[in-house]
Chains A and B, each alone.
Chain A
Amino acid sequence: ETGVTQTPRHLVMGMTNKKSLKCEQHLGHNAMYWYKQSAKKPLELMFVYSLEERVENNSVPSRFSPECPNSSHLFLHLHTLQPEDSALYLCASSQEETGLGYEQYFGPGTRLTVT
């Protein structure tokens, strides 16, 4: 247990559905992250939040919409996804933003399948 939980662990959705992924960290960290992990590709950083403000958006399609209501919770809202969006979505947190060199602690991920 790393102190970062994610729900659901598995999600199957159609291309017209709307769903949300939830992440919660119990570590008292100030920064949270969403990553996408596809087979045979490096982890892709999608979003970075620091003190609930978005500081990084790596040109992610608008069908992915993050929300960070407080420093402990992070959501990823999904709508009209494509089959190529099927992947493992990982949430992470760190004491501060990445640039300060703090290690990140990861949740177990949500395995998303888009049909």
Chain B
Amino acid sequence: AQKVTQAQTEISVVEKEDVTLDCVYETRDTTYYLFWYKQPPSGELVFLIRRNSFDEQNEISGRYSWNFQKSTSSFNFTITASQVVDSAVYFCALSETTGNQFYFGTGTSLTVIP
């Protein structure tokens, strides 16, 4: 079974719309970390955020916000007022403290149409 599921393969929105990227994870660890990365067409994954399993506070950074809910094992990412530069593939990832593993989802390709 997938450790990290990103059910949305591709999303297209018109510029200035809000968009939410879903991420559902699975782990038995009580201590774990969740991440979001952005991969623009250039190919380089860019780190966006890290949350640990004990911190369920939602976070906002500019137009980006993250909603972490342990009850539903979800760590969703919302982009407000999307821009063309937001077009990229976004990956959610899970790091477990046991086993030294880092699990990525299959990614969501976001296209923002001008």
Q: Which residues of A contact B (CB under 8 A)?
A: 2, 33, 40-43, 45, 48, 55-56, 88, 90, 92, 97-101, 103-109, 111
Contact = CB atoms under 8 A, between A and B. Distances in A.
A43 B105 CA distance: 8
Contacts, number: 62
B56 to A, nearest CB: 16
A101 B95 contact: yes
B90 interface: no
A42 B43 contact: no
Given A48-B100, A99-B100, A101-B50, A108 B43 contact: yes
20 contacts: A2-B44, A40-B106, A42-B4, A42-B103, A42-B104, A42-B105, A42-B106, A43-B91, A45-B102, A48-B100, A56-B101, A90-B43, A98-B100, A101-B32, A101-B52, A101-B95, A106-B46, A108-B44, A109-B43, A111-B43
A48 B100 CA distance: 9
A2 B42 CA distance: 13
Contact of A43 (B33, B47, B96, B104): B104
A58 to B, nearest CB: 8
Interface of B: 2, 4, 32-33, 35, 37, 42-47, 50, 52, 91, 95-107
B95 A99 contact: yes
A109 B47 CA distance: 15
A68 to B, nearest CB: 15
A96 B104 CA distance: 18
B100 A97 contact: yes
Given A42-B4, A109-B43, A99 B104 contact: no
A107 B52 CA distance: 24
B100 A104 contact: no
Contacts of A45: 101-102
B95 A98 contact: yes
